[in-house]
Amino acid sequence: MRVRYVCDSCRDVIYEVEDPSITEEKIGLDLLTPEERQYFVENQTDAVVLSILCDECSALLSGTDWPEKPSLLH
């Protein structure tokens, strides 16, 4: 399975790994609610893409009242 972590704000690829031993259970996707899965997980033909925040966007957003899905912060 190939897993790609992408920043939900700036869309930068944070990390990508391909390992046949990776399963949805090993990375905790089975613990997500259907709503969380819809928001955070995108199944593409070549990878499972997980939306998270990169360190830069997280630092910019901490302690502020930003909209739910800010974009292009850096």
pLDDT of residue 22: 94
pLDDT at 64 over 80: no
Are the beta carbons of 19 and 1 closer than 8 angstroms? yes
pLDDT at 6 over 60: yes
Are the beta carbons of 47 and 16 closer than 8 angstroms? yes
pLDDT of residue 71: 53
pLDDT at 20 over 80: yes
Are the beta carbons of 9 and 66 closer than 8 angstroms? no
67 — pLDDT class (breaks 50, 70, 90): low
pLDDT of residue 15: 96
Q: What is the pTM of this model?
A: 0.77
